[in-house]
Structure 1
Amino acid sequence: MNRTTLSLIAGATALAAVTGFASMSAPEASGEDRAEAAAVLPVERTSLLCPSPSSSDLAETTYTSFTPVTKGTDGEGEAELRAAGDAEATEDADAQDAQDAEDAEDKDSKKDKPVLAPKEPGKPVAEDVSGADAPALVGTAEGRFAPGWTVQQTTEVAAGTGRGLQGLNCAAPDTEFWFPGASTAPDRTDYVHLTNPDDSAAVVDIKLYSKDGALETTIPDGITVKPHSTEPVLLSTLTAEKQTNLTAHVTVRSGRVGAAVQALDDKLGGDWLTASTDPAGSLVLPGIPEDATAVRLIAFTPDGSDADLKVQLASPTGLITPAGHETLHVKEGMTAAVDLGDVTRGEAGSLVLTPTSRSVPVVAALRVVRGKGGAQETAFIPATRPVGTRASSAENTAKGTTLSVTAPTATAQVKVTASAGTEGGEAATKTFTVKKGTTQKIGVPVPSGLKGTYALTVETVSGGPVYASRTLTSAQGDVPAFTTQTLPDDRGMVKVPEADEDLSVLQE
């Protein structure tokens, strides 16, 4: 066998050993041609993290998991949520099983069962937990359960600081988060919950910015979050300053975490403040309830330049400018806040922020209050990404759910699907048209024969972009308890470039 043949065999063996080894088509092809050649395929793995829901003994928490049915997935896969510490325990048990096969069955029986494990896409599954001991959860979905997987965590607290309804969509781990709307005011108790899903420790920095700029904090060396654990950090322990409006910037030096702010007020209830979308020149904050009695806009720019923003409300009839609040000036490195009052004036709306001249990236959130006097409740609406291809929201009820959809720049058509219920019912679908510059309070379809709660899936059919949020309401005596979650694109589909084998890499 000559040297050339040996080289060819070795090269072919190396090529076969690398799955998907390929090259793009001709290098002279344009970017547009390459984009058209890309296949859109379902993601194969999704991770979600849920923070510890409450420290109140009166807390009642529901977790609801849902994966929309996605074309292109096979029949394999699974999804489960486990207590953050259980993930490590399970991995240790698995390693021991491999070392001692005879004890495998016994060890498996001792493993903690998952808090939640859905059985099939298209049908939500829920689990209730009571009291203050509910742990942070780490979730993983694979195969047919991965594309668009969403988990809703909703907690009802009957009394005390933060009483009301607190809800959030459990989020994927990341390395940077912006939270305009945090506070260290005397009547606020704000925690940043940091959850580490990985096998190694994460080191996290938290910087706080007030109306006067960066605050000096007590953690110059960062916060260490142990593997498979959660760390609630009380913001008021990081600085001696009492500031009503802050922007918290969470960055990860090593590893990755899930992060969310639990904002609890002595008089105004409380809710989860989730991260604003990445800094951008234009932002949309969708779904202010029509009966909001107070709305506060908090914004921050990290860009190194001041930002001047045009403030508009996308109402059911079109874009309007709030009287007296036509623009907002945001100084570089300083948190700006403005009280917009009852800006909706009895009609559901969404806030649209655009640059007045030069575009400067900003982050923003709304603090929304419903009710009056001693019967007030708070929720937060961060700036969010568009719905894009598809977005879902779990744990909807027949009478306590409101869906708001905004099309700020172009008329759009959206398809809304209500899934089967957690305990029974058949899915229902409707299509709606949202006119340019408006916010529509959608009459969501309710599954026929509904038992339990259901999931909503919103898909962009044409036009757009569209932005959406879902509000849950629950009366607690005179308190109009509510919580709002935005519906950004679920990123359940990814573009995978078409590839061809290129045998020219084989060397003679």
Structure 2
Amino acid sequence: MKRTTLSLFAGATALAAVTGFAAVSAPGDTGSDTTEPAATLPVERTGLLCPAPSNSDLAETSYTSFTPVTEGADEKGTAALEAATAESEGEKGGKGEEKGDKGEKSGDKADEPVVQPKEPGTPATGKTSGADTPALIGTAAGSHAPGWTVQQTTEVAAGTGRGLLGLNCTAPDTEFWFPGASTAAGRTDYVHLTNPDDSAAVVDIELYGKDGALKSTVGEGITVAPNSSESLLLSTLSDVNEADVTVHVGVRSGRLGAAVQALDDRTGGDWLTAAADPASELVLPGIPEDATSVRLVLFTPGGSDADLKVRLASPSGLITPAGHETVHVKAGMTTGVDLGEVTRGEAGSLVLTPTSGSVPVVAAVRVVRGKGGEQESAFIPASDPVAARATSADNRAKSTTLSIAAPDRAAKVKVTASSGTEGGTTATKTFTIKGGTTQNVEAPVPAGLKGTYALTVETVSGGPAYASRTLTGEDDDVAAFTVQTLPDDRGMVSVPKAEEDLSVLQQ
């Protein structure tokens, strides 16, 4: 996450190279000021990484791919998802000979794409089952690149981590923070690392508990082979049992996709995706209104303690949870706070602000729905705002709840439902969210819907808006659910104005 600026600069440089030679001026050059504002253009290439969905033979996984239509994007483009199954030449040859001896065709799950992305504006879906579904490496270019989103949703009928597990496949990066993991008894948490490049990546994994860093030597210098994926059980990285753990993934060389799969014996499981970059003010949007337990987990990576004011943006405004007005986070230590049934039957988002001094913090909440043997859990990390546009790819009639928060000023947002994967026409609604509130909006549904559909949220005016989508299981008697935050899709990039100046070739 620390290298986002560098990635955008590289993209801008590539675009400048395509459009012509940029004029170069030294600081001491004289002449009139011809500086022009940067142009905002659609990105030309996007990469996404999806971790291996489950190690359960009962797992049923669906993938939904969607690219919103973007004005100014290339007319043509491509998108593809391929299995992250790097093998040596010897391994490939050995497998080929074995299949030849048996008279079989040389094809398996790793050879066939699980989903074939369609043209922008139309979602596409594919399904797979079992424990041997590999991680996926995706690349989109041209018209398919701006805002490309892939949702991975897995249903596990029984066993540890049973329930509904979902995540938006993520872009490769070099640093990730995961507050909310655990090495406690009853929890089985894995960190999944996926390398999309043709060279190996080297990564360090650090764990932090309530008393600071957990001792571990096996988390240093982990090598992830090219075009491959690895999953590491957190309890093998440290033998300390901790209820609340913050996982830090730092890439020494290369880049990776990273996510934590958190499985619980009693309350099911879900994916814990990376929290927004450390910041002094954080928003965790869209806690389900019927949450029976909400646990806030925080960590500050700097050398200073943090004191934060805790507020809930409810439908009627900002309120302070009784008994949890503030939280103190010690430097380098993970802090967990049990907020109970904080939403009390209404939509809500947590808003964290410093009481004094700005100290960067990362945060996530673990949410539980249901009671007794029908409990299910999910995670909501601190999120970046929707900004220009964000997309949720996998939505289903009567099973989708869209939550939008405007923690500061009022925000006006436009929500567009795409056509369905098997039919239906687009629909659009506009909502105004009052400042300091969270609203579960009545999101549009495609007319004549068949299959699943995508929701695209765009900020029209006002203050920053934060959003999340809750997807519930089809069985009304079970509390199965998953929540995905909706930060900006990074479909647009700011490119400095450039003019052709061939004189630079003579310098």
Aligned to 2:329: 330
Cα displacement string for residues 211-235 of structure 1 (whole angstroms, at most 9, x for unaligned residues): 1000101315421111111100000
Which letter maps to 2:72? G
Unpaired runs of at least 5, structure 1: 1-16, 94-106
Partner of 1:243: 242
Structure 1 distance, partners of 2:370, 2:215, is 36
1:38 matched to which residue of 2?
A: 38
* 1:34 Cα deviation from its structure 2 partner: 8.5
Counterpart AA for 1:83 = A
Residues 220, 73 of structure 1: alpha-carbon distance in 2 compared, 3 angstrom cutoff: closer
Matched, 1:68 2:57: no
Counterpart CA distance in 2 for 1:88 and 1:49 is: 21
What secondary structure is seen at the aligned counterpart in 2 of 1:346? coil
Paired residue for 2:47? 47
Structure 2: 5+ residue runs without aligned partners?
1-16, 94-105
TM-score by length of 1: 0.89
Tell me the CA shift for residue 36 of structure 1: 5.5
Q: How does 1:276-315 map to 2 (within 5 A)?
A: 276-315=275-314
One-letter amino acid matched to 1:472: L
Query: Could you tell me how far apart the structure 2 residues matched to 1:403 and 1:87 are?
Result: 41
Quote how far apart the aligned CAs of 1:505 are. 3.0
Matched, 1:357 2:356: yes
Provide the C-alpha distance between the structure 1 equivalents of 2:179 and 2:171, rounded to a whole number of angstroms: 19
The one-letter amino acid of 2:343's match is T
Task: Look up the equivalent residue of 2:122 and give its one-letter code.
Answer: K
Deviation at 1:18, TM superposition (A): 8.4
The RMSD of aligned alpha carbons is 2.3
Name the counterpart of 2:225. 226
Residue matched to 2:156: 157
Pair 1:440–1:221, CA change in 2 (3 A): closer
Residues 200 and 227, structure 1, Cα contact 8 Å, conserved in 2: yes
Q: 2:36–2:497: 8 Å Cα contact kept in structure 1?
A: no
Question: Conserved in 2, the CA contact under 8 Å of 1:64 and 1:153?
Answer: yes
Whether 1:401 and 2:400 are equivalent positions in the alignment is yes
Distance 1:57 1:375 in 2: 21
Residues 1:426 and 1:26: Cα distance change in structure 2 (over 3 Å): farther
Deviations along 1:188-217, one digit per CA (max 9) or x if unpaired, are 000000011111111111100001000101
Deviation at 1:374, TM superposition (A): 1.4
Instruction: Look up the equivalent residue of 1:67 and give its one-letter code.
Output: T
* Alignment match, 2:339: 340
Question: How far off is 1:119 after superposition?
Answer: 2.4
* Contact 1:188–1:265, Cα closer than 8 Å, also in 2: yes
**Preserved contact between residue 82 and residue 116 of structure 1 (Cα < 8 Å):** no
Distance 1:85 1:261 in 2: 20
CA contact (8 A) 2:286 2:467 kept: yes
SS of the residue aligned with 1:479?
A: coil
Q: Which residue of 2 aligns with 1:4?
A: none
Distance 1:400 1:141 in 2: 29
Question: Structure 1: how far apart are the matches of 2:409 and 2:467?
Answer: 15
**How far apart are residue 112 of structure 1 and its match?**
3.1
Which amino acid counterpart does residue 71 of structure 1 have in structure 2?
Answer: E
Change (3 A) 1:414 1:26: farther
SS at match of 2:215: coil
The residue number in structure 2 matching 1:11 is: none
What letter matches 2:432 in structure 1?
T
1:90-489 matches, within 5 Å, as 112-219=111-218, 221-476=220-475, 478-489=477-488
TM-aligned CA deviation for residue 504 of structure 1: 4.4
User: Match of 1:372, as an amino acid?
Assistant: K
Whole-angstrom CA distance in 1 between matches of 2:323 and 2:35:
46
Question: What CA distance in whole angstroms lies between the structure 1 residues aligned with 2:212 and 2:117?
Answer: 46
**Equivalents in 1 of 2:39, 2:445: separation in Å?**
34
Shift of 1:152: 0.1
Deviation of residue 116 (structure 1)?
A: 1.9
Q: Deviations over 1:352-401 (max 9, x none)?
A: 00000101000000000000111100000000100000000011011000
TM-score by length of 2: 0.89
| Structure 1 residues 233 and 25, CA gap change in structure 2 (3 angstroms) | same
Letter in 2 for 1:66: F
- CA deviations over 1:82-139 (Å, ceiling 9, x no partner): 11127999xx99xxxxxxxxxxxxx99xx93422221210010000101111110000
1:23 to 1:474, Cα distance in 2 relative to 1, 3 A? same
**Structure 2 counterpart of 1:55, which letter?**
N
Q: Secondary structure at the match of 1:495?
A: strand
Higher alpha-carbon deviation: 217-226 or 358-367: 217-226
Number of aligned residues: 473
1:56 partnered with 2:72: no
C-alpha contact 1:35 1:497 (8 A) present in aligned 2: no
State the percentage of identical aligned residues: 73
Q: Cα distance, 1:477 vs. partner?
A: 6.8
- Counterpart CA distance in 2 for 1:82 and 1:485 is 23
